[in-house]
């Protein structure tokens, strides 16, 4: 049995039918507001906070509908638990590839990776003893930055290009307790090289040192579609691969997994799977997501 077949075989669990998140016309989902310094999370050294409109996020299909909220919450608890356990158990060992750096990627575009990454970030933020920094590392198609309205803000790429720029000054706190966001920043030549540079490793170490209970969640470009996606596999301690059921070719999944050191593959999320009325994949398996490729985030 192949690695892919073994992974999928482990995902089959009893659950309810998969649902679909219906998309509504886009409406503003976040805005920046100024707050007093004493009300800021210690994760950001700025007097601005990003106010996220959860209702607008739901209306746009980036969060599940209220009727599906409990079901999705349970799915993501099962997804995040091994990630959190591994991150916290290894974070004190000083590993070069810190397991608190979690990369969410896919083999090809259109798998639902950004939807997964955003929902995983919200789930991680609910943890009582840790926080999550959602980093838009998909510099070619910065969907996270667009969704949260920070596409024009300086971010990861700016800090990589300018060693005098303090990375923590670019991290934006949000009104969601435990969640902060770092935009992709401006696109520039040599991005793939910057992502595997010593500067990138310094930035990640700095972000982890600033908050020892922080998990960094990287929304990455697809591995097979971009050199930037392959570059990021070199700096993450845990990698999660999102696969769209019924659409992603098994050969593409195998090729993507071949780009990653096996010990760092944290799991495969089988997205948008529909089996019987009493069976579905979830956790490191499937959950219902958007079907309209024209309007859904990659």
Tens-place pLDDT, residues 249-265: 889 999 999 999 998 99
Does domain 3-281 fall under CATH 3.40.50.360? My reply is no
* Structure tokens belonging to residue 123: 């789930």
- How is the chain split into domains, by residue range? 3-281
C-alpha distances (whole Å) from 135 to each of 17, 104, 290 are 32, 10, 22
CA atoms of 79 and 238, how far apart (whole Å): 13
- Of 112-116, 195-199, 213-217, 294-298, which gets the smallest average pLDDT? 294-298
CB distance 159 to 203 below 8 Å: yes
* Structure tokens belonging to residue 112: 């639902």
**Residue among 76, 81, 65, 173 at smallest CA distance from 119:** 76
Classify residue 19 by its DSSP letter: -
Nearest-5° Cα angle at 158, 155 to 159:
85
pLDDT of residue 95: 54
pTM of the model: 0.80
- Of 38-47, 109-118, 171-180, which gets the smallest average pLDDT? 38-47
Rg value, the chain, Cα: 18
pLDDT tens for 96-124 read 568 999 999 999 999 999 999 999 999 99
- Three-state secondary structure of 124-187: HHCCCCCEEEEEECCCCCCHHHHHCCCCCCCCHHHHHHCCCCCHHHHCEEECCCCEEEECCCCC
pLDDT of residue 212: 85
Percentage of the chain beyond pLDDT 70 is 73
Expressed in angstroms, the distance from the first to the final Cα of the chain is 30
CB distance 136 to 155 below 8 Å: yes
* Structure tokens belonging to residue 72: 């999705």
Q: Give phi and psi for 80, each to the nearest 5.
A: -80, -25
């Amino acid at each position: 049995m192949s690695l892919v077949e073994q992974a999928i075989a482990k995902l089959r669990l009893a659950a309810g039918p998969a649902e679909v998140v219906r998309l509504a016309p886009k409406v503003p989902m976040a805005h920046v507001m100024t707050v007093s310094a004493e009300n800021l999370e210690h994760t950001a050294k700025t007097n601005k906070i990003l106010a996220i409109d959860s209702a607008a996020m739901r209306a746009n299909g980036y969060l599940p509908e209220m009727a599906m909220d409990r079901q999705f919450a349970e799915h993501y608890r099962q997804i995040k638990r091994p990630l959190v356990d591994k991150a916290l158990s290894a974070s004190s060992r000083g590993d070069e590839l810190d397991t608190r750096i979690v990369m969410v990627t896919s083999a090809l575009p259109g798998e639902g990776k950004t939807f997964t990454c955003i929902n995983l970030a919200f789930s991680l933020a609910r943890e009582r003893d840790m926080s999550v920094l959602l980093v838009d590392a998909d510099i070619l198609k910065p969907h996270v930055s667009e969704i949260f309205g920070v596409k024009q803000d300086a971010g990861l790429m700016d800090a990589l290009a300018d060693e005098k720029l303090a990375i923590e000054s670019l991290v934006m706190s949000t009104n969601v307790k435990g969640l902060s966001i770092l935009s992709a920043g401006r696109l520039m030549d040599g991005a793939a090289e910057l992502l595997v540079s010593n500067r990138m490793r310094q930035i990640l170490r700095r972000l982890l040192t600033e908050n020892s209970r922080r998990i960094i969640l990287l929304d990455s470009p697809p591995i097979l579609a971009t050199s930037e996606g392959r570059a990021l596999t070199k700096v993450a301690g845990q990698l999660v691969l999102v696969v769209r059921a019924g659409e992603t070719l098994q050969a593409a999944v195998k090729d993507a997994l071949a780009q990653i050191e096996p010990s760092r593959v944290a799991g495969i999320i089988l997205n948008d799977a529909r089996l019987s009325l009493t069976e579905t994949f979830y956790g490191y398996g499937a959950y219902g997501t958007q079907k309209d490729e024209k309007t859904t985030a990659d």
